[in-house]
């Protein structure tokens, strides 16, 4: 029988409920402070955490995106009409592409020996066959006459040579680029919700697409962008960019609340200059690169046209996130909100026990002192230190709030 009773006792002991014993202070001052603090905390949770930060939603930030671009427009440059196959590189129409605005061309280069055009450092370098990054080829060490008055170093490489700052020809940029249009097709997907959308909104018709140009007031969803507009929206000057080259970012942001209708999940476009440092620093301004077109003569000799291209590079950057109602974050944040309301007591306790009239009496009620049974008899002495912390100074009273365990033993 005893064993059964014991076990029963264990079980009944287990199924008890333990809650804190509370002290209720009926004071207008602290009551109002308490409620105001609680109101602030609730306001913070409802206003900021739930309404603004949408803490009741799960959020998918792993946006999948695909960007296709197509540039349109014709320019005249060096007496030639340039079309998209001539001035856009890479040609694949991906999210990063360059529109060439200026070309410095050196035609009919063949492998051979020729005099170097630069005269800088000619004296020091003569006799050295080490290649230098500032000389357009490998130096042979010979000295040859460039023209009747000038001797220079002979180099081996693609001849004739031409390097910037170019003595050959420095043309002006192709100003028609300003009127070129960039067509951007962007599809996104939020894999968590299997939600797919594109920047071609259902409201866009074939005829609208043919005419529209993006502007942030009237045509916020037109996926066709005038180059000049994009550069203006990024607070840049087209002429400077066309001369020196640069990198412009076209950012597409998708911030979607999937609890609302699908129509309210729309792209927002913004524009910025990405190589902002090129503006500030004069050491290496702008953006340019070299490439070559290779040809072959009938006799099998390869020759090439070397091109130094100044270009405006466009980076289409897509970012975004989507949220949708979900039980788990809602519950967790509601519990967090409820328990946080209790945090106000820390502040109120400090006020109650230190700054309010009758603080000593509140302390006496809130704190119940137990002297250590070990140090019983000569336990703790009296202290006269007044500290701000939430601590009880000693008190002797007959109420149950303060007595020594010693009396019980």
By beta-carbon proximity to a copy of itself, the closer residue of 156 and 243 is 156
Q: Which is nearer to a copy of itself, 11 or 217 (CB)?
A: 11
- What part of residues 206-245 is at the interface with a copy of itself (CB under 8 A)? 206, 209
CA separation for the pair 74, 180 (Å, rounded):
7
Confirm or reject binding of residue 294 to a copy of itself (CB under 8 A).
Answer: yes
Largest CA distance in the chain: 126
Helix (H, G, I), strand (E, B) or coil at 170: coil
x/- map, 89-108, a copy of itself, by CB under 8 A: xxxxxx-x-x---------x
Shortest Cβ 350–a copy of itself spacing (Å): 10
Annotated binding residue at 72? yes
Does 288 carry a binding-site annotation?
yes
Which 352-391 positions form the footprint of a copy of itself (CB under 8 A)? 352, 357-358, 361-362, 364-375, 379-385, 387, 390-391
- Of 33-92, which residues contact a copy of itself (CB under 8 A)? 33-35, 48, 62, 64-66, 68, 70, 72-74, 76, 80-81, 83-86, 89-92
Contact assessment for residue 400 and residue 367, using Cβ atoms and an 8 Å cutoff: no
Q: What's the burial of 173, exposed, middle or buried (CB within 10 Å: 0-12/13-18/19+)?
A: buried
Number of residues that bind a copy of itself (CB under 8 A): 162
The CA distances from residue 206 to 181, 202, 262, 329, in Å, are 17, 11, 21, 43
Assess 262 for contact with a copy of itself (CB under 8 A). Answer: no
The verdict on whether residue 374 carries a ligand-binding annotation is no
Choosing from 129, 264, 293, 301, the residue that interacts with a copy of itself (CB under 8 A) is: 293
Tell whether residue 121 is a contact of a copy of itself (CB under 8 A): no
Q: Which residues pair with 307 in a beta bridge?
A: 105, 291
How many whole angstroms separate alpha carbon 10 and alpha carbon 228?
82
Q: Is the peptide bond before 160 cis (omega within 30 degrees of 0)?
A: yes
Among 59, 122, 160, 176, binds a copy of itself (CB under 8 A): 176
Residues 6+ apart with CB under 8 A from 92: none
Q: Could you tell me the smallest distance in angstroms from the CB atom of residue 102 to a copy of itself?
A: 15
**The pairing of beta strand 150-159 with beta strand 96-115:** antiparallel
User: Interacting stretch for a copy of itself, rule CB under 8 A, among 144-152, 166-174, 230-238, 305-313?
Assistant: 305-313
Selected from 42, 146, 315, 330, the binder of a copy of itself by CB under 8 A is: 315
Q: How many CB atoms lie within 10 A of CB 339?
A: 9
Determine the interface stretch with a copy of itself among 146-154, 212-220, 235-243, 285-293 (rule: CB under 8 A).
285-293
Here the contacts of 77-80 (C-beta below 8 Å, separation 24 or greater) are 77/103, 77/171, 77/174, 78/103, 78/105, 78/171
DSSP bridge pairs for 67: 186
Q: Is 169 in the site for a copy of itself (CB under 8 A)?
A: no
User: Which of the residues 1 through 20 are near a copy of itself (CB under 8 A)?
Assistant: 5-6, 8-10, 12-20
What is the DSSP code string of 201-254? -TT--HHHHHH---BTTTBTT--EEEHHHHHHHTT--HHHHHHH-EEEEEEEEE
Annotated binding residue 181: yes
User: Which residue numbers belong to the known binding site?
Assistant: 70-72, 181, 288-290, 308
Binding-site residues for ATP, in ranges, read: 70-72, 181, 288-290, 308
């Amino acid at each position: 029988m005893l064993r059964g009773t014991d076990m029963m006792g264990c079980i009944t002991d287990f199924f008890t409920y333990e809650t804190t014993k509370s002290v209720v202070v009926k004071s207008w001052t602290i009551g109002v402070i308490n409620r105001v603090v609680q109101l602030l905390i609730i306001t913070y949770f409802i206003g900021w955490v739930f309404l603004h930060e949408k803490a009741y939603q799960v959020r998918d930030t792993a946006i999948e995106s695909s960007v296709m671009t197509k540039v349109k427009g014709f320019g005249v440059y060096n007496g030639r009409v340039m079309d998209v196959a001539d001035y856009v590189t890479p040609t694949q129409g991906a999210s990063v592409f360059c529109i060439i605005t200026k070309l410095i061309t050196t035609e009919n280069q063949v492998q051979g020996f020729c005099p170097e055009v630069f005269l800088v450092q000619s004296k020091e370098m003569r006799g050295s066959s080490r290649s230098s990054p500032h000389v357009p080829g490998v130096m042979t060490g010979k000295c040859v006459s460039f023209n009747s008055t000038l001797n220079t170093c002979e180099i081996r490489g693609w001849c004739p040579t031409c390097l910037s700052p170019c003595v050959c020809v420095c043309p002006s940029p192709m100003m028609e680029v300003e009127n070129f249009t960039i067509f951007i097709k962007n599809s996104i997907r939020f894999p968590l919700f299997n939600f797919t959308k594109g920047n071609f909104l259902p409201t866009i018709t074939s005829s609208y697409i043919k005419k529209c140009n993006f502007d942030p007031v009237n045509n916020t969803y037109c996926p066709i962008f005038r180059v000049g507009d994009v550069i203006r929206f990024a607070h840049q000057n087209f002429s400077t960019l066309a001369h020196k080259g640069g990198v412009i970012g076209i950012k597409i942001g998708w911030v979607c609340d999937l609890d609302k209708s699908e129509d309210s999940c729309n792209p927002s476009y913004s524009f910025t200059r990405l190589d902002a440092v090129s503006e500030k620093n004069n050491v290496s301004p702008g953006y340019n690169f070299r490439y070559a077109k290779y040809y072959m003569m009938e006799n099998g000799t390869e020759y090439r046209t070397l091109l130094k291209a100044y270009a405006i590079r466009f980076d289409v950057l897509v970012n975004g996130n989507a949220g949708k109602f979900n039980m788990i974050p809602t519950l967790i944040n509601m519990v967090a909100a409820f328990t946080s309301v209790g945090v106000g007591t820390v502040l109120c306790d400090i006020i109650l026990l230190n700054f309010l009239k009758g603080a000593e009496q509140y302390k006496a009620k809130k704190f119940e002192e137990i002297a250590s049974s070990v140090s019983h008899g000569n336990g703790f002495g009296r202290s006269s230190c007044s500290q701000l912390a939430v601590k009880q100074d000693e008190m002797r009273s007959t109420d149950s709030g303060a007595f020594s365990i010693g009396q019980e033993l």
